[in-house]
């Protein structure tokens, strides 16, 4: 039985297992992702989460504890510089394991373990939720609008809906435009009739055949 025995043995001694995971966790923080078997990837998550927790704490003692595990000083410095901003929004789950299938040769299940970027993931989820809320109409507003359209005038204020008010306001304007459009035509026709009547009056003596009157004053 395996009571009170945490972690996987992986058919290795304790010293061999610790040395292997120290190398793997150093490569993980150096290259951001590595490929290994499923069993090793699952066990490596415990080491990686512990180191990220130390880096988020950020004090001198935490840095010395990380240096006892990670083999390269540059990797430790990079981890402590980025951990505060990169993993600030989450308190666990700093790695992701993606299964790739089986390895050719021994058919061992292979996985990729990588560090997550929670800041970008959180921003994308927030944008999606904001877009979803903006696209979904308010149910109460839709019901109130439908009820107002069915009732017509508002019972409380006696006001007509906006569309009906706009139609009523547009009808008198159209009538006024029609009346003003007919007046210039009537005014233009009236002078023509007056000029025609004057011409008829001038032409009447010539049509009677009497001719011009004699000039008596010259005699």
Tens-digit pLDDT profile for residues 27-39: 999 999 999 999 9
Lowest mean pLDDT among 48-52, 131-135, 191-195: 191-195
142-187 residue pLDDT tens? 777 777 777 655 544 555 555 556 666 666 555 555 555 555 555 5
What local confidence, expressed as pLDDT, does residue 6 receive?
Answer: 86
Of 42, 36, 34, nearest to 6 by C-alpha is 42
Specify the pLDDT at position 207. Answer: 47
Instruction: Name the band, by pLDDT with cuts 50, 70 and 90, for residue 107.
Output: very high
pTM: 0.55
Residue range 14-116 in CATH 3.30.450.20? no
Give Rg (Cα) of the chain: 48
CB-based contact 83:70 (threshold 8 Å): no
CA 51 to mean position of chain CA atoms: 36
Identify whether the C-beta of residue 119 lies closer than 8 Å to the C-beta of residue 86: yes
Residue 215 in this model has a pLDDT that exceeds 90: no
Q: How far apart are CA 20 and CA 81, in angstroms?
A: 25
Backbone angles phi, psi at 5, to 5 degrees: -130, 100
- The pLDDT value given to residue 219: 41
Distance, in Å, from the CA atom of 74 to the CA atom of 43, rounded to the nearest integer, reads 24
What is the rounded distance in angstroms from the CA atom of residue 70 to the CA atom of residue 13?
20
Q: What is the DSSP string of 150-204?
A: HH-S-TTT-PPPHHHHHHHHHHHHHHHHHHHHHHHHHHHHHHHHHHHHHHHHHHH
| pLDDT number for residue 145 | 77
Domain ranges of the chain: 14-116
């Amino acid at each position: 039985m395996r009571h009170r025995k945490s972690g996987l043995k992986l058919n290795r001694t304790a010293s061999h297992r610790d040395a292997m995971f120290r190398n793997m966790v150093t490569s993980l923080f150096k290259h951001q992702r590595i490929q290994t078997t499923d069993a090793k990837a699952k066990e490596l998550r415990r080491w990686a989460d512990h180191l990220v927790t130390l880096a988020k704490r950020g004090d001198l003692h935490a840095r010395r504890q990380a240096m006892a595990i990670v083999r390269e000083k540059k990797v430790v410095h990079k981890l402590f510089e980025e951990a505060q901003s990169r993993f600030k929004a989450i308190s666990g789950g700093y790695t992701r394991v993606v299964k790739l299938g089986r390895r050719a040769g021994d058919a061992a299940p292979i996985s990729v373990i990588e560090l997550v970027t929670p800041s970008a993931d959180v921003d994308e989820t927030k944008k999606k939720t904001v877009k979803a809320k903006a696209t979904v109409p308010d149910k109460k507003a839709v019901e109130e609008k439908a009820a107002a359209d069915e009732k017509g005038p508002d019972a409380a204020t006696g006001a007509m809906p906006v569309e009906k008010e706009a139609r009523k306001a547009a009808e008198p304007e159209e009538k006024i435009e029609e009346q003003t459009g007919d007046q210039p035509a009537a005014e233009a026709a009236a002078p023509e009739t007056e000029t025609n009547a004057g011409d008829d009056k001038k032409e009447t003596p010539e049509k009677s055949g009497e001719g011009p009157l004699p000039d008596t004053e010259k005699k």
